[in-house]
Structure 1
């Protein structure tokens, strides 16, 4: 293993709260707007199962997103995410609020984003993750870029990375490998 991989693993071992942007991380970033004025998002089922397994390990999860959508609340309910910040212009301020309310340090937070609005919390989080299609400047501040694309298993990849680093992956997989 090279030192960067070890560094990522060490960072991942400390994480107590995984914080995800929504559009461009949990989705592919596309926004579908219907003639009826409704907004539609596509979420990946593999990401959802990964988040459920991660929650089963005791690790907390949160969404911090610039947009506001009832769909985000429904996805949070389905995946066990109980900390949600929507309509946020200053994501670092939201992360600082989350850290204070949850009684954790920034080093114990993972932040996953894809656009420049995500850079401030990524710079402060203990583990900053992005996706392959992220804006180039965002990639400069990420400790890790997923192999999977946003909206196509990138969040699942992160959930498994955390579980492996924290020694909970095998326990979560055991129910499927009977």
Structure 2
């Protein structure tokens, strides 16, 4: 949330954080509105051999983001991602910029930063291990990107208290748990 309030981050970073926060809140709130008495189905698409039954409904960009998130620690390249999606690198990059507002590897960096920050904030694992968990073999690279986004080191971030969202009754809502 501090990224959204600070006003010192690029519009792409703020947009990425805003969309991720909105997605997390929707995962929390949507089941409330889709109760058992509703005509609307509450179950997600059923996976078949690791693929959604209706891949056209999520599109290439949605599938690419699923791949990047699901296999975040892999050493992704635009070529590797385009091969997974059976698209040319040029077409994939053009689609990403048009629909996601950033090139594929820039979005991957943002996804890695978000997960890295979550690991630093919510666990006691070392910065080196957190960096490795999100795909950075060198913790200095992770620290560089982290300082660039947040303006402080991962260790300083870990020591800084962060506010936790609450529901109307004052109970803490674990937004990060709902995203998994």
Query: Do the two structures share a fold, i.e. TM-score over 0.5?
Result: no
TM-score normalised to the size of structure 2?
A: 0.27
Q: Which has the higher helix share?
A: 2
Greater relative contact order (Cα < 8 A, sep 6+): 1
| Greater C-alpha radius of gyration | 2
Q: Which has the higher strand share?
A: 1
TM-score when normalising by structure 1? 0.27
